[in-house]
Structure 1
Amino acid sequence: MKLLMRLINFSKSGIFMLAMIVQTGVATGLQAQDFYFKGNKSKDAMSFSLVKNLVIIPVYLNNQGPFNFILDTGVGPMIITNPKLIDSLGLKVSRTLEISGLGRGNKIEAFIVNDVSARVGDAWIDNMPTAILKQDIFGLSNYLGTKIYGLLGYHFFKSFVVQLNYSGKRMVFGHPWAFRKIKGERVPIELESNKPYINIGIETPDYGHMTIKTLIDNGASHAISLERLKEEPFPIPAASISANLGVGMGGPIDGNIGRISSLTIGGFKLKGVLASYPRYDDVAAKVILKDRNGNLGADVLSRFNITFDYADNSIYLRKNGQFNRPFEHDMSGIEVYLQEDKTKRYFVSRIEPGSPADLAGIKADDEIILINFAPASSFKLDDINTLFKSADGKTIILSIFRNKDIDVKVFKLKQRI
């Protein structure tokens, strides 16, 4: 139970560090082919799942599967987070890496393999550079409420033009010549160390307007993470709250959550955007690329239907029906994870100090039995998270199980940021 408590807050920062190490170290000698279509096919399409604004697609590995993977612009080589696949896929480990990543904590180990073939729809790739975590330290399946086996990024995006229709939950991908005209506003990007970066504008009450450089990271569920400004910690606004921002390769990442007045990407402006401010020593001081200011995540990107064209160093943006939805942080103070074996059970992983749930007496390790008189097992994890940030002042009634006793806790959601 305690282990799951620590893993539930997934942070993309640790995955980014692992990808950098594999790409610049072991994997640089591997000449991986691009994804390709067999025969005369030049374009394909498929539906995807969207959980916490993250794109989840079915991937076949070594002709087995499908396995749920997060499609993620923030990673280079493929990352397999479930080490059980080593045996089930018959993989041969070429070597082991010891990694000291972001966050505070001990080093972890990852295996490197080079005998993985993958298929997405009708697109194939052979001998793909792949890192396999020796231990699933992130607990992605518990965090998202659906079984996750890994992350797929750069090698897919560099092979095709990739259109993500977030509103329709559909992806179209293919060779550039298969797309006559790409709709949307073209915004230039830079590719560095196999990751896409973009210059965006932000406005803060204290510093006014500024242009910053951010990683485009649709595999991070936050809106924007602001890490550094002129080699110093990014200034934290006075109106912010302390928060656990996730867990990196090196352990938990602490910081604050606040708001920026606006965020401008291309010709589009978003207002009242939630911003994460990770502790400098946990993240910014350890990031290899020193001229980046932060990380642009899926809570912003999912408000658009986006086309990624790495060959043209560009993305194309069209705002969708979610563009004007408000940016809301959890209003309960509860972090919940799913433990699923034969039954589906929800537990409290962490309570924010001073939050409504804390004041109501809810504690870490409590099992949630009923939510507003309905069985917790009847909810998806994403539905619970959505409920907990649904409306300021909304009454929540939880029946919780603790120390062989069932108790009822009542509190009102409160917008704390």
Structure 2
Amino acid sequence: MLLIAFFFSKGLSQTFSLPASKKSQKVKFQLINNLIIMPIEVNGTELSFILDSGVQKPILFNLSDRDSIQINNVSEISIRGLGKGEPIKGLSSIGNTFRLGDIKNRNQHLYVVLDKDLNLSPSIGIPIHGIIGYDLFRDFIVDINYSKKVIRFYSPENYTYKERRKSETLPLNIIRKKAYVGASIYLNGKENLPVKMLVDTGSSDAIWLFEDEDIDVPQDNYEDFLGKGLGGNIFGRRTKINSITLGTFSVKDAKAAFPDMETFNSIKRLGNRNGSVGGEILKRFNIVFDYRNKKMTIRKNGNFKTSFQYNLSGIDLQHDGVRYVSERIANTNGLVKKNDKSFGNVQILLENTTRLSLVPEIVVSGIRMGSPAEAAGLQQGDVILAVNGKSIHKYKIQEVLQMLNDKEGKRIKVLIERYNQDVLFSFVLKNLFK
């Protein structure tokens, strides 16, 4: 259960720090859907956080009856965020202890969102309990190695800049606890258009752009669901631009989106910001963030030429509970391989010939209007059983999405369950910009 206790702490520093004997902390992370996910202890309970440079204070959500965590020094608040919805109820809490390896903050301010609809776990495929950003970037030099999936948090006093071949250092503007970088874009025949972009590691997308006198939505675009914010679902126009350039690094044919500007009604003072650059661009670099000196150093990595991922099928997926899967097996002499996780963690052998496994159920959470999947007849709520003959319970949700959106011209066969009947659908993936 969620335990809320009232403990007051006075005189403690509201910063993260390492022991004096340690110069840095190495943290391994998961990169799922272009998002950095790492474990952080909150008042002794380990939770999963997205590292989100676009957020000011840590926010907890998706705390279920199974979670037991003490939250200190609480008051009720309303929280606004991206999306068209109304403000949501939440809690403000101070005096909390955050721990990340040897990094500690004994007086961390956080927010708790009480709306159960805000739950990123089903679409990401693993439990996600919160987001954290500025406070870590403020207190450390943060070296993110996207290719090795490792972050090093350095105490600024102990960090020495090294000359790295083929790296570039760009100035950052830190405005209201968020980092902005200058870039240039090429779209609609206009080259070298200067743009001011929010650096947003908490966005799984590539580029968001706001329309103005110089920045127009390209003619080739389509309506799409762009994501979910604290204020609800975010929709807009999906497209691509000729390129975005950071320093001298130019990413060609970059995936881009123009969000519905009603989404930003709750955010005041957008200023001269032209959009944001998210994880699908950032993961192409290894990046050193230095908020204290207002700069970041970028260097291309092995992801730089990775193709941009588009939802060619029009299908969105999410986990929705669990289901049993039955499979014939060879004689095991009564034993199940201990390391065989492909069939789930709960396994039952029936007469040594059949294995029942409890696995996550993956369902269609949305269908884009006019997409190949919609034309074929798939519907929201359909349970995905197999894609092109492959039983999907053996794969992670992001791997299933890759199967469904492999490449233009590929025929996709999807076996689904609807009203306790198995139905096979077939469609061909099409170029979204023709």
CA contact (8 A) 2:412 2:429 kept: yes
Equivalent residues in 2 for 1:2-401, closer than 5 Å: 33-65=14-46, 67-84=47-64, 88-92=68-72, 94-182=74-162, 183=164, 184-229=167-212, 234-283=215-264, 286-341=267-322, 343-401=359-417
SS of structure 2 residue aligned to 1:106: coil
In the alignment, the residues of structure 2 paired with residue 299 and residue 241 of structure 1 have an alpha-carbon distance, to the nearest angstrom, of 19
Residue 138 of structure 1 and its aligned partner are, at CA, apart by: 3.0
> Shift in Å at residue 379 of structure 1?
1.1
Can you list the C-alpha shifts for 1:203-239, whole angstroms capped at 9, x where unaligned?
1125443111111001100001112426x9x521110
Q: Give unmatched runs, 5+ long, in structure 1.
A: 1-28
Name the structure 2 match of 1:3.
none
Helix, strand or coil at the partner of 2:84: coil
Which position in structure 1 is the counterpart of 2:423?
407
- Deviation, 1:86, is 11
What's the CA shift for 1:31? 7.7
Which structure is higher in RCO with an 8 Å CA cutoff and minimum separation 6? 1
Alpha-carbon distance in 2 for matches of 1:170, 1:102? 29
Shift of the 316–246 alpha-carbon distance from structure 1 to 2, 3 Å rule, reads same
Does the CA-based 8 Å contact 1:226-1:275 persist in structure 2? yes
Separation in 1, partners of 2:210, 2:13: 32
Q: Give TM-score, length-normalised by structure 1.
A: 0.87
| Structure 1 or 2: more strand by fraction | 2
Take 2:41 and 2:79, find their aligned partners in 1: how far apart are those partners?
A: 27
8 Å CA contact retained: 1:56, 1:70? yes
> What do you get for the CA RMSD once the two structures are aligned?
2.2
Change (3 A) 1:321 1:50: same
Displacement after TM superposition at 1:98 (Å)? 2.0
Identity of aligned residues (%): 31
Asked if the contact 1:228–1:294 (Cα under 8 Å) also holds between the matched residues in 2, the reply is no
SS at match of 1:384: helix
Structure with the higher helix share, 1 or 2:
1
Secondary structure, counterpart of 1:290 in structure 2? coil
Task: Report the Cα offset of residue 54 of structure 1.
Answer: 0.7
Stretch deviating more after TM superposition (253-262 or 296-305):
253-262
Q: Name the CA distance, whole Å, in 2 between partners of 1:84 and 1:93.
A: 20
Say which SS state the counterpart of residue 37 (structure 1) adopts: coil
Change (3 A) 1:78 1:114: same
Q: Which ranges in structure 2 are unaligned for 5 or more consecutive residues?
A: 1-9, 323-357
For residues 25 and 78 of structure 2, what CA distance do their matches in structure 1 show?
A: 38
- Distance, in Å, in 1 between the alignment partners of 2:431 and 2:186 is 22
C-alpha distance in structure 2 between counterparts of 1:311 and 1:52, whole Å: 29
- Output one character per residue of 1:25-58: Cα deviation in whole Å (capped at 9) or x when no partner: xxxx998522111241111212111001111111
Question: Aligned partners of 1:374 and 1:308: how far apart in 2?
Answer: 42
Runs of 4+ in 1 over 6 A off after TM superposition: none
**Larger Cα Rg: Structure 1 or Structure 2?**
2
* Paired residues, number: 386
Moved more, 188-197 or 394-403: 394-403
Query: Relative to 1, partners in 2 of residues 1:237 and 1:179: Cα closer, same or farther, differing over 3 Å?
Result: same
SS of the residue 1:90 aligns to? strand
Would the alpha carbon gap of residues 137 and 295 (structure 1) be closer, same or farther in structure 2, given more than 3 Å must change? farther
User: What TM-score do the two structures reach when normalised by structure 2?
Assistant: 0.84
Offset at residue 326 of structure 1 (A): 2.1
Other structure's SS at 2:95 match: coil
Give distance in 2, aligned partners of 1:246 and 1:379.
23
Query: What SS does the corresponding residue of 1:104 show, helix, strand or coil?
Result: coil
